């Protein structure tokens, strides 16, 4: 296999193959983040072509985000049972099928099924549990660095792809933008099939930072037991108060960033006359600061420092976005616009 030959070649240069796995995982999460952010650019074109309301389109995107979160713990069970490589390829196939079939959709229920269910499940299989799995299986040293790099892939996906997707949508239509994203996902599937391996022991390698090869665990647990393990863990964790603190923190994070800003920011800018490409570039600029913050947060000494900064900034951004999307603010903007002034004068 290509991975075996490459691992042998890198070993002669004293370069651990785990960094290749990190690169493939980073690209996987990066393109998946682009697929997650693409519908936010396409809300206005869908409204214009099909006459669907913002609420109808948002319902499909909300279902996608919900499944993205719910499938994370179960994705780990599938990875333990079938391997990381097979799960990535299957996830990419699901997302590509959902995007490509949506090129011929006509009804709202088709949007909900394709973008909500199929894409939601596919992206859920490559959630942050993939990053944690790779970092844990391949690294003993530098594990925190690996997690930081993989966590930053979401921001990098916005930075790299969203302005380009907005340009494709503006110049060639939303279908061409989906074809582009589907092609990138197919490239990810190919790279994963060629170079992703489940564990270092598959290549007769130790974990990064160790000298002894760790054998894989025995395969004595069935799929149903693996699928039940997240539920049992949740049952035990629900009795610990700190769990609900973390739950609330991540809920606010997802609702504000993925649910509100990433989904509706481009549409918000369109309401005020800002072109989609410019709006996507602003969102990409947010990704730059997000990438920088994720890289710098290792220097924060306490969780309260990180949480305080995050909640302060996110609360301001979320309140501004909610206010600007409200009907009252829209009517005020219309009354204060030059066109409205001219018509009343």
Supply the Cα-derived Rg of the chain in whole angstroms. Answer: 22
Q: Which residues are CB-neighbours of 117 under 8 A, at least 6 positions away?
A: 63, 64, 67
The Cα-based distances of 279 to 65, 84, 174, 335 in angstroms read 22, 35, 16, 23
In the chain, % helix, strand, coil (3-state, to 5) comes to 85, 0, 15
Rounded to whole angstroms, what are the CA distances from 98 to 6, 101, 252, 267? 33, 6, 28, 22
- 3-state SS assignment for residue 278: helix
Q: What separation in angstroms does the CA of 345 have from each of 71, 336, 338?
A: 57, 12, 10
Pick out the chain residues at pLDDT < 50.
298-345
pLDDT the model gives residue 233:
83
Please enumerate in sequence order all residues whose Cβ is within 8 A of that of 303, keeping only pairs 6 or more positions apart, or say none.
none
DSSP SS3 for 310: helix
Sign of CA dihedral 329, 333, 334, 335: positive
Cβ contact 25:130 at 8 Å: yes
d(CA 39, CA 79): 27
Dist. CA 20–CA 198, nearest whole Å: 12
Q: Is 121 exposed, middle or buried (0-12, 13-18, 19+ CB in 10 A)?
A: buried
What count of other Cβ atoms lies within 10 Å of the Cβ of residue 90?
17
Q: Say how many C-beta atoms besides its own lie within 10 A of residue 8's C-beta.
A: 12
CB 207 within 8 A of CB 140: yes
Please say whether the beta carbons of 226 and 75 come within 8 A.
no
Put residue 142 in one of left, alpha, beta given phi > 0 → left and psi -120 to 50 → alpha.
left
Cα separation, 323 vs 198, in Å, equals: 47
Spatial separation of the C-alpha atoms in residues 115 and 36, rounded to whole Å: 10
List 139's β-bridge partners, or say none. Answer: 208
- Closest C-alpha to 115, from 133, 130, 103: 103
DSSP of 155-167: HHHHHHHHHHHHH
């Amino acid at each position: 296999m290509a991975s075996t030959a490459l691992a042998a070649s890198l070993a002669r240069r004293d370069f651990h193959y785990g960094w290749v796995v990190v690169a493939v995982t980073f690209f996987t999460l990066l393109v998946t983040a682009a697929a997650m952010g693409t519908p936010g650019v396409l809300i206005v074109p869908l409204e214009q072509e099909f006459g669907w309301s913002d609420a109808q389109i948002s319902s499909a995107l909300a279902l996608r985000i919900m499944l993205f979160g719910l499938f994370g713990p179960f994705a780990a069970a599938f990875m333990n049972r079938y391997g990381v490589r097979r799960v990535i390829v299957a996830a990419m196939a699901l997302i590509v099928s959902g995007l490509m079939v949506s090129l011929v959709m006509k009804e709202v229920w088709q949007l909900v099924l394709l973008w909500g269910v199929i894409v939601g499940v596919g992206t859920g299989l490559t959630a942050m549990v993939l990053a944690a799995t790779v970092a844990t299986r391949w690294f003993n040293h530098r594990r925190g660095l690996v997690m930081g790099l993989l966590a930053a892939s979401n921001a990098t996906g916005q930075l790299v792809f969203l302005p380009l997707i907005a340009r494709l949508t503006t110049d060639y239509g939303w279908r061409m933008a989906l074809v582009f994203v589907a092609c990138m996902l197919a490239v990810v599937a190919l790279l994963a099939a060629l170079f992703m391996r489940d564990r270092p022991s598959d290549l007769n390698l130790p974990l990064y930072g160790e000298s002894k090869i760790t054998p894989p665990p025995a395969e004595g647990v069935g799929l149903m037991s693996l699928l039940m393990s997240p539920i049992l863990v949740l049952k035990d964790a629900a009795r610990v108060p700190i769990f609900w603190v973390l739950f609330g923190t991540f809920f606010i994070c997802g609702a504000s960033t993925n649910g509100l800003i990433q989904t509706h920011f481009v549409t918000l800018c369109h309401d005020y006359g800002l072109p989609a490409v410019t709006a996507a570039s602003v969102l990409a600029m947010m990704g730059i600061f997000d990438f920088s913050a994720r890289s710098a947060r290792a220097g924060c000494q306490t969780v309260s420092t990180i949480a305080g900064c995050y909640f302060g900034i996110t609360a301001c951004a979320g309140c501004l976005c909610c206010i600007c999307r409200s009907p009252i603010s829209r009517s005020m903007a219309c009354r204060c616009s030059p066109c409205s002034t001219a018509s009343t004068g």
